[in-house]
Amino acid sequence: MAPVGERLTIGAVSRRTRVNIETIRYYERVGVLPRPPRSAGGYRLYSVTDARRLAFVRRARELGFSLDGVRALLSLADRRIGSCSRAQRMGQAHLDETRRKIADLRRMESVLARLVADCADGTLPACPLVETLMHQADVAIS
Amino acid sequence: MAPVGERLTIGAVSRRTRVNIETIRYYERVGVLPRPPRSAGGYRLYSVTDARRLAFVRRARELGFSLDGVRALLSLADRRIGSCSRAQRMGQAHLDETRRKIADLRRMESVLARLVADCADGTLPACPLVETLMHQADVAIS
DNA sequence: CATAGGCTCTGTAGCGGCTACAGGCTCAAG
DNA sequence: CTTGAGCCTGTAGCCGCTACAGAGCCTATG
């Protein structure tokens, strides 16, 4: 059985969560993680709960939430009551944003694919990619 | 007929290209655009060619090329000889990168969509979005 | 007990790609 | 000549890290 109140150094937390040590300290600086207690020599000492919180942050970041979004989600997770509909709204907004990004990238993709294919064709007098960028009207987003 | 050697202020170029004035000056600072000649009072005076170059930059940026990529494309466009296969390689690499980003975003999208839908369901005891972030194994990219 | 060397500490600066000032100068219209 | 729009430089900020430098801590070995 694990000892009660197990304390982890920042390196141990980093290995557990696969979050860079520098990033962990950065999260503390910008208020995403609380300041942990310190050893006599000044080392940060994390609890397993802290490590879980960091894993939460990592997963939210992997889903593309901004650090502001992560902060908001964390505070919802803390005062758990009534949090679900708010979390849902945040998730939906982020989902919409993600879909917009996908749509933008797809427009870029199709233009690029055409240009590259035209280049590969090799029968045109000038480079289609360069020519398009030189002379064509707006080509993608906005 | 337009006068030979027409000179445009930075504001005129900005309106033509829909590139922010500050951004134009930034591009000059980082070597994406050449330093234009100046009026007696120190105003930048651009040629129509300069404006076209800037439009080129804008379109390449809209396609997602980095400023380094833009610099490379510009130099290919300048010494036009033999540029096409190089431009094509750059375009292909960027296309690959764009497709990777799309794939990443799609993974995020599907996870998010599921979480949000579970929230909307409303029959689960705890908030599925929060619970997933709290406890689940890795969820998306990397 | 000393030392090596791995870990951690703080603070600062850099990345990309802008954007936003402040505080001053120029230029064209009336 | 005055007004006011436009332009100038230089600096600092945004996000989310990442990468140092130069110091101190902690433990395993000889």
3-state secondary structure B18-31: CCCHHHHHHHHHCC
In the block, tokens 């150094």 appear at A9
**Residue of chain B nearest A49, judged by CA positions:** B134
- Residue A138 confidence (pLDDT) above 80: no
> Which residues of chain B are within 8 Å of residue A98 when distances are taken between CB atoms?
105, 108-109, 112
- Residue A102 confidence (pLDDT) above 90: yes
CA of A27, C1' of D27: distance in angstroms: 29
- Residue B29 confidence (pLDDT) above 50: yes
Chain-centre distance of CA A72, in angstroms? 14
Query: Picking from A1-5, A124-128, B78-82, which range would have the lowest pLDDT averaged per residue?
Result: A1-5
- Number of other residues whose CB lies within 10 A of the CB of residue B64: 20
How confident is the model over B61-103, as pLDDT tens digits?
A: 999 999 999 999 999 998 877 778 899 999 999 999 999 999 9
How confident is the model at residue A132, as a pLDDT? 87
How confident is the model at residue A60, as a pLDDT? 97
pTM: 0.89
- Residue A128 confidence (pLDDT) above 90: no
How confident is the model at residue A76, as a pLDDT? 93
| Amino acid identity for residue B94 in this structure | H
CA of A48, C1' of C19: distance in angstroms: 41
- Listed residue (A136, A124, A123) closest to B63, CA to CA: A136
CB B35 within 8 A of CB B42: no
Query: Picking from A46-50, A133-137, B19-23, which range would have the lowest pLDDT averaged per residue?
Result: A133-137
How confident is the model over A30-59, as pLDDT tens digits?
A: 999 999 999 999 999 999 999 999 999 999
The nucleotides of chain D lying under 7 Å from a protein CB are 6-9, 15-20, 24-26
Mean pLDDT score of chain B:
90
How confident is the model at residue B135, as a pLDDT? 82
CA of A41, C1' of D24: distance in angstroms: 8
How confident is the model at residue A139, as a pLDDT? 47
CB B65 within 8 A of CB A111: no
Note whether B117 contacts A: Cβ–Cβ < 8 A: no
In the block, tokens 């990619």 appear at A129
Q: How many residues does chain A have?
A: 142
Interface touch A134/B56, C-beta < 8 Å:
yes
Footprint of strand C on the protein (CB under 7 A): A 9-12, 14, 21, 25, 38, 42-44; B 20, 22-23, 26, 39-43, 61, 66-68
Chain-centre distance of CA A12, in angstroms? 22
Q: What b/e sequence results for A31-51 when a residue is b if at least 16 CB atoms lie within 10 Å of its CB, and e otherwise?
A: ebbeebeeeeeeebbbeeebb
- Number of other residues whose CB lies within 10 A of the CB of residue B6: 12
